[in-house]
Amino acid sequence: MTNTTAPTANPTRSTADPGPALHRVGRRALAGRTALVTGAGTGIGAATAAALATAGARVVLTGRRADRLQAVTERLTAELADAGTEVPELVAVTADVTDAAALTMALDRARDQLGAGFDLVSANAGSMFAAPFASADPGEWQRMLDTNVLGLLNTARATTDDLMAAGARGGPADLVLVSSIGARVAMPGYAVYFASKAAVSHLATNLHIEFGPRGVRVHSIEPGMTKSDLGQDMSDEASRQALADFAVAVPPMPASAIADAITFAVAQPPVVTISSMVVLPTHQI
């Protein structure tokens, strides 16, 4: 499994290697591709939808709140038009990733509207709660497991046939699973959240073994402290305050930094898979 951080310069291809070099993402690097982004109403999901659309992909935005999805879609359309960038097709569909049947129906509607399946899936929907294990609310555990693990499984399963078909055509085909640096570390109060993200990272490793030989790339993106709504509804006041204090001590990254990392990964030549990428704020250790 290859680990990397977000790129800072164009790598130079070795003269001994005839294959394509890694490259930065141009405005039309993803033209012709059809992407699904879950959790697209806010945070990393919204930023990812914007980054993929800016690179030329058609994007289906999913989330639980229709008003947020509509606002993101309208804002993105206006920003691209104002920048003189061709506006790709953007489709907003309300769906809860924890409900497999409802998600499948929503994605079928999106496929019908676009006339195509997905060759790029970015599973961003997530939930985060923290509290001492002995006093934590089991209901918050369930919400994290339902969204972070089951929701991601539902998303991957609902799009596997699309991705396999794209891989069979020669690709590119990409499944992006947004995990967390928490998959690799330990911190008091975050046992269940970190466990859910460790499951995501390990799932990506296993799916790479299954999907890679069929032309589908699987990427695990593991962000550190990022500006988002995650954790704002924690019931444990001490944990919520500790998170706010940490954000002061360690300036968080904008969500666009993670979106750019995702876009960089999926824009590589089909022969290249960035299987695991850790992206941290400079001051986070």
Exposure letters 195-220 (e unless 16+ CB within 10 A, then b)? bbbbbbbebbeebbeebeeebbbbbb
pLDDT along the chain (285 residues), means of 10: 37 35 64 97 96 96 96 95 91 97 97 96 93 94 96 98 97 96 91 96 97 98 88 78 82 94 95 95 87
Ordered structural domains, the chain, with CATH: 29-279 (3.40.50.720)
Q: What pLDDT is attached to residue 25? A: 62
Q: What pLDDT is attached to residue 92? A: 97
SS (H, E, C) the chain: CCEECCCCCCCCCCCCCCCCCCCCCCCCCCCCCEEEECCCCCHHHHHHHHHHHHCCCEEEEEECCHHHHHHHHHHHHHHHHHCCCCCCCEEEEECCCCCHHHHHHHHHHHHHHHCCCCCEEEECCCCCCCCCHHHCCHHHHHHHHHHHHHHHHHHHHHHHHHHHHHHHCCCCCEEEEECCHHHCCCCCCCHHHHHHHHHHHHHHHHHHHHHHHHCCEEEEEEECCECCCCCCCCCCHHHHHHHHHHHHHCCCECHHHHHHHHHHHHCCCCCCCCCEEEECCCCCC
Q: Which residues does the annotation mark as catalytic? A: 193
Long-range contacts formed by 10-16: CB under 8 A, 24+ apart: none
Q: What pLDDT is attached to residue 4? A: 39
Question: Is this structure's pTM higher than 0.85?
Answer: yes
Q: What angle do CA 174, 97, 51 make, to 5 degrees?
A: 45
Q: What pLDDT is attached to residue 26? A: 63
Q: What angle do CA 202, 207, 213 make, to 5 degrees?
A: 140
Long-range contacts formed by 7-13: CB under 8 A, 24+ apart: 7/264
